[in-house]
């Protein structure tokens, strides 16, 4: 069985600081990491592969050359092979152009895939579009918000437990299929030092735009339906008004007056 896991390099957002003057992100000192939801997807892939014979996990990422770091991380965490789809022509790609490029890379580099696993979204863009778009482009059944994965008793279908608002549902799909993952009850892996060293011995290759055989107008900014015009933090919320050192009755009256004044009640 061949399992492809699409992964993305994202900034470590817990450390991101916003410049108070310009309102832009301070990039200095901010680390890049494997998107956590992609890590959950990879974890499911590795777990599944360990239970199957002849399973092979391929991690694939589209990004700048430094995105190689997250593929190395995937190899440490148990992927067997890494593919970095990288080219200057990909710059400015929106979710559609990214999905199209990744789908084409999967078609060409791993044509015999059985499953494509993705994180439900990346923590930087938060669009949650790339996984479903890849499934559409490749005409695959897709199951989103998965938290558990396995094969049906016949072994021919994938069986996924997915989060829904009311609880969970278990659904099956014919393979090949695409599954996106939420966090679920996952405890993240910790590679051994042996894994870290051996990851450097595993195959990690690059694919350029030329290798993908996609017309130039379908790539990057040119191939994008949308453009990011500006990124800015949400406006700071005004601090509320705190009523202190008042008797309950006085406080209630003050709140009542405020609601009247603002016409919340009449």
Partner 1 sequence: MHEIQSKTVPSVDVKQVKCIHGFEAIQRDYPVYLTDESKLSAKPFDYLWFPKDELELAAVIREMSRLNIPITIAGARTGLVGGSVPQAGAMISLEYLDKVEGLFYDPLLEEWHLRAQTSLSLKAIDNMLQFKQFPSLEKHLDEWVRSNFARFKEDPNNYFYPPDPTEMSASLGGSVVTNASGARTYRFGPTRAWVRGLRVFLADGEYLDIPRGKYFASPAGKFVISNSRGEVKSFNIPGYSLPRTKSATGFFTAPQMDLIDLFIGSEGLLGVVSRVDVALAKREPKISIIQFLDSEDQALHLTHALRSDGRLQLDFLEFYSENALKLLSDLQIAEPATVGMPAIPPQARAAIFFELSFDPKQEALDFSALEETIASCGADLTNSWAGYEPRELERLKVFRHLLPETINAIIAERKKDIPALHKLGTDMAVPDVHLDEIWQLYKQRVQEEDLEWAAFGHIGNNHIHVNILPRNLSELEKGMVLYEEFATRAVALGGTVSAEHGIGKIKRKFLTLMYTPEQIEQMRQVKLAIDPQGLFNPQDMFLGEVAQ
Of 29-58, binders to partner 1 (CB under 8 A) are: 29, 31, 33
Q: Is 190 in the site for partner 1 (CB under 8 A)?
A: yes
CA distances, 48 to each of 3, 8, 83 (Å): 9, 21, 20
* Chosen residue from 14, 22, 227, 239 binding partner 1 by CB under 8 A: 14
Based on CB atoms, which residue is closest to partner 1, 44 or 73?
73
Based on CB atoms, which residue is closest to partner 1, 17 or 226?
17
Distance CA 232, CA 19 (A): 11
Select the span of 97-105, 127-135, 194-202, 217-225 touching partner 1 (CB under 8 A). 194-202
In three-state secondary structure terms, 83 is: strand
In three-state secondary structure terms, 251 is: helix
Based on CB atoms, which residue is closest to partner 1, 119 or 223?
119
CA dihedral 194, 200, 205, 208 (to 10 degrees): 120
Based on CB atoms, which residue is closest to partner 1, 141 or 191?
191
Contact 225, 100 (CB under 8 A): no
Residues in contact with partner 1 by the rule CB under 8 A:
12, 14-15, 17, 26, 28-29, 31, 33, 69, 72-73, 185, 187-197, 200
């Amino acid at each position: 069985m061949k399992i492809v896991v699409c992964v993305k390099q994202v900034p470590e957002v817990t450390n991101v600081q916003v410049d108070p003057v310009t309102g832009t992100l301070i990039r200095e000192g901010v680390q890049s990491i494997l998107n956590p939801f992609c890590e959950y997807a990879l974890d499911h892939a590795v777990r599944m592969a360990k239970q199957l014979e002849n399973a092979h996990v391929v991690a694939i990422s589209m990004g700048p050359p430094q995105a190689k770091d997250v593929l190395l991380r995937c190899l440490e965490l148990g992927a067997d092979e890494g593919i970095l789809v990288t080219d200057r022509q990909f710059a400015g790609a929106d979710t559609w152009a990214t999905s199209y490029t990744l789908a084409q890379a999967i078609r060409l580099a791993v044509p015999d895939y059985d499953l494509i696993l993705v994180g439900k979204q990346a923590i930087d863009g938060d669009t949650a579009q790339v996984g479903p778009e890849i499934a559409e482009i490749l005409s695959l059944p897709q199951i989103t918000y998965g938290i558990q994965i396995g094969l049906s008793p016949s072994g021919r279908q994938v069986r996924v437990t997915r989060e829904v608002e009311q609880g969970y549902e278990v659904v099956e799909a014919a393979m090949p299929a695409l599954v996106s993952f939420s966090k679920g009850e996952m405890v993240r892996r910790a590679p051994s030092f042996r894994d870290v060293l051996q990851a450097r011995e595993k195959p990690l290759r690059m694919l350029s735009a030329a290798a993908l055989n996609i017309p130039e107008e379908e790539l990057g900014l040119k191939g994008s339906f949308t453009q990011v015009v500006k990124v800015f933090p949400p406006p700071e919320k005004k601090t509320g008004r705190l009523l202190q050192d008042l008797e309950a009755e006085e406080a209630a009256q003050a709140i009542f007056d405020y609601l009247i004044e603002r016409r919340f009640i009449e």
